[in-house]
Amino acid sequence: MQPIPYSPIVTRPKLRWPNGARIALWLVPNIEHYEYLPRPNQAKDPWPRMPHPDVLGYSRADYGNRVGYWRMVEVIDRYNIPCTVSLNLAVYEHFPEIMQECEARSWEILCHGIYNSDYLWDLPEDEERAIIEDCIATTKRLTGRDLLGWFSPAGTWTVNTPDLVAEAGLKYFVDWGGADDQPFPVRVRNGSTLLCLPYQFDVNDGINFRFNMEGEAFARATIELFDQLYRESGESGRAMCIPLHPFILGQPHRAKHLDVILRHIVAHDGVWMATAGQIADWYTQNCLLAVEAHVAEIAAMSAALAAERLP
């Protein structure tokens, strides 16, 4: 079974956002915390420098919570943009000052696990289920709110992750978010609705800056991605995510490039600055039925063609 059914974006029902907006844009600070000495014998060593502890690697990531977060918030506040925090929940436990600032801004939580150095890869299904349930309970305990979305820590999803996230009652996940420019329903084994939201990894600073991209080039790529989606969205709505990391774009020589990106975007009409939960709710209430009918039509056509090929 194909988890995300094939659907050419040019043949789908037209996507309309609230008040005729062309693009639903969600801004995602990835506020992360890494263990100084992670759990051993994982599928990947989060600190490849040996021997442990990897002080240089850890301190680079820790810069985001000590300094970069505060610099990034200052830029975002200039434009009054709502944020969806890709959050390692340990941040709220270890750094209550960050929790206070995020909660004061009513930033939505997209759970990114407890620590970004504790992976899901190779976990048995029951252990992965227990981690998801713990994250849901921890979010409720810390904020009083229900958890809406899931992003596996460090992107370490398993074949069971979508099924377990849906089973737990979450609305959306982004582990496969590079697959589309619109939200799209995922097939899960319990038959419930789970949306995969666009999460453009190509403008994720956590990926790009590993390949010698710097701030000016990152800003240019992000703006060009936005401009292309904006042109296409005159026909049918698009969704765009800008994933950011305080320990990367929150560096002194890069923060100004975030300002350049946001200034360009807010200068355009028809941009719905939303949280991931708002996007998921709108899509579910206003678009899902039409898309499901469209997917069923494609499936029926494919079945008919397959039947014709039988001897």
Are residues 200 and 240 in contact, defined by beta-carbon separation less than 8 angstroms? yes
Q: Does the residue 4 lie in any domain?
A: no
CATH number at residue 91: 3.20.20.370
3 located within any domain: no
Residue 154 lies in a domain: yes
In angstroms, the CA 9 to CA 232 distance is 11
Return the structure tokens found at 276: 């991931």
* Domain total in the chain: 1
Q: Within a domain: residue 158?
A: yes
Q: Where are the alpha helices (DSSP H) in 105-233?
A: 125-143, 161-167, 205-208, 215-232
Identify the weakest region by mean pLDDT among 41-45, 164-168, 206-210, 272-276: 206-210
The answer to whether position 208 is within a domain reads yes
Domain of residue 31: give its range: 19-38+45-309
Partners of 194 in beta bridges: 186
Residue at 11 is within a domain: no
Q: What is the mean pLDDT of the chain?
A: 93
Q: Is the pLDDT of residue 300 over 90?
A: no
Alpha-carbon distance of 157 to 174, in angstroms, equals 10
- The letter for the amino acid at 150 is W
0.85 cut: is pTM over it?
Answer: yes
| pLDDT above 90: percentage of residues in the chain | 79
Q: What is the 8-class DSSP label of residue 109?
A: E
Whether 71 is in a domain gets the answer yes
> Do the domain assignments include residue 255?
yes
- Would you say residue 20 has pLDDT above 90? yes
The CA angle 59-61-66, to the nearest 5 degrees, is: 80
Which residues partner with 184 through β-bridges? Answer: 196
